[in-house]
Structure 1
Amino acid sequence: MPRPTILTVDDDPQVADALVRDLKDQYGEEFRVLGATSGAEALDLLASLALRGDPVALIVTDQRMPSISGTELLARSREHAPDAKLLLLTAYADTDVAIAAINEIGLDYYLLKPWDPPQERLFPVVEDLLGDWRSAHPDVTTQIRVVGDRWSDRTYELKTFLARNHVPYLWLDVERDAEGRRLHEAAGGDDADLPLVLPPDAPPLRSPSVRDLATALDLHTDASQPLYDVCIVGGGPAGLAAGVYAASEGLSTVIVERQAPGGQAGQSAAIENYLGFPRGLSGADLAQRALAQVMRFGAELVLARDVVGLERRGPVRAVLLEGDGVVEARSVVVASGVAYRRLEADGIERLQGRGVYYGATASDAAQVRDDVVYVVGGANSAGQAVLNLARYAKEVVMVVRGTDLADTMSSYLVERITSTPNITVRTDSEIASADGDGHLERLCVRTRSSGESDEVVAHWLFVFIGASPRTDWLGGDVARDDHGFVLTGPDLTARATSPTWPLERPPGLLETTVPGVFAAGDVRLDSMKRVASAVGDGAMSISLVHRYLGSL
């Protein structure tokens, strides 16, 4: 496959030459950089590339050009390069046009001219955009192949792990892809070996566990130090924020994450109300950026390990891992987040991972191309998933228990959902049952007010129905409410009955009934359940950790 293309467009030949030169110097080994000096020339180039099947990763264009503006060119480029990232170079006077283009044509970023020095102004923006493009096009950028059955729960688990850990892979369906069948037969043809993971320079992995896969990919699955200043349980926004602040302030820090950085937010196709990102960003992108900060400051990340217990060992707090692992630290931040609640309907549990899924990653959307998809839930997470799935699916049906979607979802999402032609919203409805031979094939949808039901053909059901905290591992020493959310700070005296706060000093604002153990993010009682508030909790927890460690 040819190198992906970066196309630059500017009607000033000197500026066009400088832009091509700068991008070639930085990205010429991985990408082919082409330049055009008019919109017409650029569209002709894009048409030629499309005819040859050559991928286009990025289009960079000036806004003010004769005959066709930059935003008009980018809108028309979608016909030939629908997946290319779009970067507009503009003058300060045109920023209103650029901001409008974010909503109207899906502009990814705008940059004020001039871009000198490129190392400070141009390359960081381009690197972010190309990184997103690489993640979305693993067939171009990866050597890892996964062979399996699309209705296999084990296959889905491994694909989700790879996607959420930003490991690009090429997916080959053993039933649909000739190359998938060939590789399966070459490996012995035993269905018990599926899913088959084929790293480029290692033996095949036959139906590996997530931990085995992580180990094979050289991801850290064990802590390297005998004692840390702080152990953070959970790698969602709260845990990653705590990791950034702890490591940057000199604390020896380890983050233990059961699956992948990002937590529940990491599965979001788009987070559009997070400060500082006017275009919005995916949960995976936010997690990747945060993880880069965490690693830059020297925190350690332990992946694919479930936490099963917490023990007090004198001044040390021991976090027990599934299997034979333990992490000891002088303080602990509980940021283990929440999981989607289980859908109570006949047949759902049997078909989980075989057409029925809890949550959805952005990468799931491409699998539903031209199918009818059902989504259960009426909150923002469900709305973002619906919009993402609708880009590929023939139809997306949203099943909502309430009578008005606006009661539970932000207005900007409601407006987009109701204006998207292939999205149908069924309010006052619920899933009564699911059925299928080996995978989901049918759903029974019931109207709650009348009790009437109808059976529909469906191969995909994504569930977003509220959250339950992951706190069973905390044991009896950490006080929680009846739903499992952790009590902290003032709530310890106002609501906790047993256990109670054991010291004369008052507990810190995020401190639990075990001194030195703090809770941050969605796992904490009465938290806002928003990314920004979780990040704030994570940062605040480290100031309290410092205070606690200073008192020892």
Structure 2
Amino acid sequence: MPLADSRHHQMFPVLDAAQVATARRFASGPPRRCDAGEILFDVGDCDAPVWLILEGAVDVVRRDGLGHEKPITTQGAGQFTGEISQLAGRASLAAGHAGESGCTAIPIDAAHLRALVVGAAELGEVVMRALILRRVGLIEGDALGSVLVGLPGDAHLTGLQGFLTRNGYPNTLIDADSEEGREIVERLGIQPGDLPLMICSNGEVLKRPGNAEAATCLGMTPELDPEAVHDVAIVGAGPAGLAAAVYAASEGLSVLVLDQRAIGGQAGASARIENYLGFPTGISGQALAGRAYNQALKFGAELAIPLEVERLLCADDAGEGAPVHGLQLRSGERIRARTVVIASGARYRRPDIGNLELFEGAGVSYWASPVEARLCEGEEIALIGGGNSAGQAVVFLAPRVKTLHLVIRGAGLDASMSRYLVDRIAALPNVVLHTRTELVALEGDAERGLVGAVYRERDTGDTHRCDLRHVFLFVGADPNTAWLGDCVALDAAGFVTTGLDDARPGRTTSLQTDRAGVYAIGDVRAGSVKRVAAAVGEGAAVVAQIHQYLAAADDRARARDTATA
């Protein structure tokens, strides 16, 4: 049953008189009267407020880049417009206009909306649930949004679709070889080298866009104030970074989170996490990341995605308060913060295979999302790796494919994979386990894509070939620390070292690097436990240490001011 049917009363609740009175206290402006058909907000409008309807009705519709429009609902007195984008002041994904009898409504902008969901707990729960469910409803089924036109299996198209999907933005894929696809390409005068196209909901057409260009078109990326000095700048929006953002923002610190790709990090690509406390039936990495993202927004954290940090610019500590550190962005902008949390995780490890890059995104994948699962439906595939991430991917992909060859270097799965995954894989009839084996070559070309793979038995050196069009690589990860330069100390493997003791007895800042005010958490930290729960724990713990550091810095600053007065 579609979400709009099964949970309609939660998606579009009607507030009672007391709840309306409470909500009115958070209005950001006076009531507005609109005549029939008058637009309150349109697709793509940035900083569009939530509208609390006092009289009349508002017709809410969704629209794609090709101008197709479908109704979502008609809302009346006591109801409110918007979805999760309004909590962050991002571009609206829907449009609303006054109904036949017009309407009177009160605006609640992003800042006042966050104040409402935090300050009015019971009403805030109703509002947050509705905003989240509406975004889910927009993504569900035949939801309209950005239109992607390209050739299925194309690496650029797959990456773009994955970027939108992982960030929770509705999109529709049209095969460029279909009748509709050819018509669009011909009408726009597009050359084959311009594919894939992204047609944003406002009608803007992008040719072979990167993530940053796509995000700008969708209004995803906020405008950053170069003069602002944040209490905390967090680099990486995986479980560790998101946990730090939630706890820091909820405790009143000004927080900025940056990530070059999507929320969730590597965990966000997990099909199902079943050993995370509190979720006995499991939860997908994307769903877990989405919940954490919404929590961070609720408490006022600013999340800037996709923005890539090119370099950390560490300030010297002169002993007169907290130094201000800098983050140089790839876009040329600079961010300033009193503390920096390194939560950049790890990059997928790439086996030493000469032509690997040719097939990345076009037959070779480093994660197993629904996008990749659709591409290999009913086919014979291979998955390389024996860790928990590999096991989760096997369990997700196996029911969708003909045969899955699981290739590992070790003698078995028990040494590297959780028992519940080992047992589940053993029960899958179409999984063939190849032990003491490694991938040594890929076959194919740019025109045909991946057509085969060659494996070598480690004990005998014998090689054998298999016809394959899809290979999933889960062979570990390397720390994502190139952007740190010489600012903080790394261990021999490139992970960030922590454990600097505070000068005062009894105080320890075990997550602090050798640079004052700079911390490392999660997979990027040397000695960390590579588990989602451990990353979340470090994200929470680092906030207490940041409070200690900032309090001490403020004490030093006050002492200096007193001495010079």
Bin of the TM-score, shorter chain as denominator length:
0.7 to 0.9
Name the SS of the counterpart of 1:440 in structure 2: strand
Q: Is the 8 A contact 2:310 2:328 kept in 1?
A: yes
Equivalent residue in structure 2 for 1:461, among 468, 471, 477: 471
Q: Is the 8 A contact 1:214 1:221 kept in 2?
A: no
Residue 187 of structure 2 aligns to which amino acid in structure 1? A
Could you tell me which residue of structure 2 aligns to residue 156 of structure 1?
158
Residue 299 of structure 1 aligns to which amino acid in structure 2? A
Decide which moves more: 122-131 or 142-151.
122-131
Could you tell me which residue of structure 1 aligns to residue 200 of structure 2?
199
TM-score, reference length from structure 1: 0.74
Give the C-alpha shift of residue 414 in structure 1.
Answer: 1.1
Residue 297 of structure 2 aligns to which amino acid in structure 1? M
Structure 1 residue 357 corresponds to structure 2 residue 365: yes
Residue 394 of structure 2 aligns to which amino acid in structure 1? V
Structure 1 residue 390 corresponds to structure 2 residue 398: yes
Decide which moves more: 143-152 or 433-442.
143-152
Distance change in 2, residues 1:145/1:271 (3 Å): same
Could you tell me which residue of structure 2 aligns to residue 539 of structure 1?
540
Name the SS of the counterpart of 1:331 in structure 2: strand
Q: Is the 8 A contact 1:221 1:304 kept in 2?
A: no
Alpha-carbon distance in 2 for matches of 1:288, 1:149: 29
- Residues 153-188 of structure 1 deviation map (CA, whole Å, 9 limit, x = unaligned): 22122112111101121122223x332232222221
Equivalent residue in structure 2 for 1:374, among 378, 382, 406: 382
Could you tell me which residue of structure 2 aligns to residue 408 of structure 1?
416
- Residues 221-254 of structure 1 deviation map (CA, whole Å, 9 limit, x = unaligned): 5423621001001000000000001110000110
Alpha-carbon distance in 2 for matches of 1:249, 1:477: 28
Equivalent pairs, count? 435
Give the C-alpha shift of residue 200 in structure 1.
Answer: 2.5
Q: Is the 8 A contact 1:417 1:423 kept in 2?
A: yes
Alpha-carbon distance in 2 for matches of 1:451, 1:441: 23
Q: Is the 8 A contact 1:340 1:359 kept in 2?
A: no
Name the SS of the counterpart of 2:445 in structure 1: coil
Name the SS of the counterpart of 1:527 in structure 2: coil
Give the C-alpha shift of residue 4 in structure 1.
Answer: 4.0
Residue 327 of structure 2 aligns to which amino acid in structure 1? V
Name the SS of the counterpart of 2:414 in structure 1: helix
TM-score, reference length from structure 2: 0.72
- Residues 472-494 of structure 1 deviation map (CA, whole Å, 9 limit, x = unaligned): 111213011111111101xx58x
Distance change in 2, residues 1:510/1:370 (3 Å): same
Distance change in 2, residues 1:336/1:25 (3 Å): closer
Could you tell me which residue of structure 1 aligns to residue 281 of structure 2?
279
- Residues 394-452 of structure 1 deviation map (CA, whole Å, 9 limit, x = unaligned): 22111111111111111111111111122221111111100112211111122111111
- Residues 320-347 of structure 1 deviation map (CA, whole Å, 9 limit, x = unaligned): 1113111100001100001111111242
Name the SS of the counterpart of 2:460 in structure 1: coil
Give the C-alpha shift of residue 353 in structure 1.
Answer: 2.0
Alpha-carbon distance in 2 for matches of 1:419, 1:185: 50
Alpha-carbon distance in 2 for matches of 1:155, 1:372: 22
> Taking CA–CA contacts closer than 8 Å with sequence separation of 6 or more, which of the two structures ends up with the larger relative contact order?
2
Decide which moves more: 148-157 or 258-267.
148-157
Equivalent residue in structure 2 for 1:265, among 254, 267, 273: 267
Distance change in 2, residues 1:309/1:189 (3 Å): closer
Residue 294 of structure 1 aligns to which amino acid in structure 2? A
Q: Is the 8 A contact 2:314 2:487 kept in 1?
A: no
- Residues 350-374 of structure 1 deviation map (CA, whole Å, 9 limit, x = unaligned): 2222211222324321221111111
Could you tell me which residue of structure 2 aligns to residue 146 of structure 1?
148
* Identical aligned residues as a percent: 39
Alpha-carbon distance in 1 for matches of 2:390, 2:416: 10
Q: Is the 8 A contact 1:401 1:429 kept in 2?
A: yes
Name the SS of the counterpart of 2:142 in structure 1: helix
Q: Aligned-pair RMSD on alpha carbons? A: 2.7
Alpha-carbon distance in 1 for matches of 2:242, 2:214: 23
Could you tell me which residue of structure 2 aligns to residue 189 of structure 1?
190
Alpha-carbon distance in 2 for matches of 1:419, 1:320: 50
Name the SS of the counterpart of 2:161 in structure 1: helix
Q: Is the 8 A contact 1:234 1:257 kept in 2?
A: yes
Q: Is the 8 A contact 1:147 1:196 kept in 2?
A: yes
Residue 214 of structure 1 aligns to which amino acid in structure 2? A
Alpha-carbon distance in 2 for matches of 1:5, 1:535: 30
Name the SS of the counterpart of 1:406 in structure 2: coil
Could you tell me which residue of structure 2 aligns to residue 549 of structure 1?
550
Residue 326 of structure 1 aligns to which amino acid in structure 2? R
Equivalent residue in structure 1 for 2:299, among 297, 300, 325: 297
- Residues 361-396 of structure 1 deviation map (CA, whole Å, 9 limit, x = unaligned): 243212211111111100010111111112322221
Residue 419 of structure 1 aligns to which amino acid in structure 2? A
Q: How does 1:111-150 map to 2 (within 5 A)?
A: 135=139, 137=140, 139-150=141-152
Residue 271 of structure 2 aligns to which amino acid in structure 1? A
Q: Is the 8 A contact 1:146 1:169 kept in 2?
A: yes
Name the SS of the counterpart of 2:400 in structure 1: coil
Alpha-carbon distance in 2 for matches of 1:28, 1:185: 41
Alpha-carbon distance in 1 for matches of 2:249, 2:258: 14
Distance change in 2, residues 1:319/1:130 (3 Å): closer
Alpha-carbon distance in 2 for matches of 1:7, 1:214: 31
Could you tell me which residue of structure 1 aligns to residue 107 of structure 2?
none
Distance change in 2, residues 1:453/1:294 (3 Å): same
Residue 205 of structure 1 aligns to which amino acid in structure 2? L
Could you tell me which residue of structure 1 aligns to residue 90 of structure 2?
none
Give the C-alpha shift of residue 511 in structure 1.
Answer: 0.4
- Residues 192-236 of structure 1 deviation map (CA, whole Å, 9 limit, x = unaligned): 221101122221111112111000010115423621001001000
Structure 2 runs not aligned, ≥5 long: 14-121, 317-322, 554-565
Could you tell me which residue of structure 1 aligns to residue 233 of structure 2?
231
Residue 531 of structure 2 aligns to which amino acid in structure 1? R
